[in-house]
Amino acid sequence: MPSAQFELSEPPSDAISAIKFAPASLRLLVASWDKNVYLYDTSQSGGKLLQTFQHRAPVLDVCFGDTDGYAFTTGLDWDVRHLDLSTGTQTVLSSHTAGVRSLAYSPQHRILISASWDSTLHIHHPSSPSTLIASVSLPSKPFSISITATKLVVAMGSRALNIYDLSSLASAASSLATTDDPTAAIPVQIEPWQRRESSLKFMTRAIACMPNDAGYASSSIEGRVAVEWFDPSPESQARKYAFKCHRQANEQGIDVVYPVNALAFHPVHGTFASGGGDGFVALWDGVAKRRIRQYQRYASSVSAVAFSGDGKYLAVAVSPGFEDGKEGAGEGIVKVFVRELGENEAKGKGAK
């Protein structure tokens, strides 16, 4: 039985930068370059736009907190914001000195991490406003971050990759002196648990951690995905590999290489989805090194993908011109699709 898919009504008017499902419902947040964050209820076909939250500049990332009632946003206004989804109230948690590319919230440690092009991480404690904000310096600009229950992975320029222990980041603020400005970030020295060089030769586009806390997948602008494990033992590191994907032959039979813009792991099966500039979404079994399936081609570049908390739905954001920076996508071209997955649709196939 083919999986059911529907398109969200009232999509954003410009490119979509991020989509995230709520932890325990089918509410979906969509961040866009049109300076808005959109909240949808996707529990019914066609979805329902519940609310739009206007920002001062393009929004580059968004994530939920512990519940469906609040979220965090960030983007080109340099601010990290707490967003009350019921009242629409926005509260600035901290301000960077350049655009902020990524956010990640850890429910285990109750901390929010922002990664900015000013080459810093800010560590926030949203449930404890009196706790000071720690700033961790990075060796290069961050392009993507992802977390597990215990670790934060930061993919940066110059193929650098830092892995941090979340408990160390969570306790960083405890030693800070008081400040008159609650949104000021205080520099702290925190050594990464591991420093690595990316397995991919070209710029990292996205990174996503395995739900079992064993490792991560990363993707590049050059149509490749790498799968690696945290365990530093030689045996575990020997398992890492990279593969070509999101490449399509043109009329002359020559492969056209597209960026792999988005990655997301299935929360139950541990398989992962990739979305590319070629308009395709594929599901992969990273352990068995096999592609599970590839869905029909979307009309233009896939800019973001996300699984629901129960793994029964896959959301896909389609945004033309996403990788070449073309201005003004045009109404009706930017779309969000929600696909209901069959029981075993995202399940791994096992080793060859």
d(CA 63, CA 27): 12
pLDDT at residue 159 tops 50: yes
> Which of 162-166, 180-184, 342-346 shows the lowest mean pLDDT across its residues?
180-184
Question: Dihedral of the CA atoms 131, 95, 159, 258 (nearest 10)?
Answer: 120
* Per-residue model confidence (pLDDT) at position 253: 81
pLDDT at residue 56 tops 70: yes
> Average pLDDT of 216-230?
95
> Average pLDDT of 258-271?
96
Identify how many contiguous H helices and E strands the chain contains and give both numbers. 2, 31
pLDDT at residue 329 tops 60: no
DSSP state letter for 178: P
Neighbours of 318 (CB within 10 A): 25
58 to 53, 54, 266, 309: CA distances (angstroms):
12, 10, 28, 26
The residue behind tokens 């050059």 is: 222
pLDDT at residue 350 tops 80: no
pLDDT band at 176 (very low <50, low <70, confident <90, very high): low
d(CA 337, CA 329): 17
* Per-residue model confidence (pLDDT) at position 331: 47
Q: What is the pLDDT of residues 21-55, one digit of tens each?
A: 999 999 999 999 999 999 999 998 889 999 999 99
Q: What is the identity of the amino acid at 2?
A: P
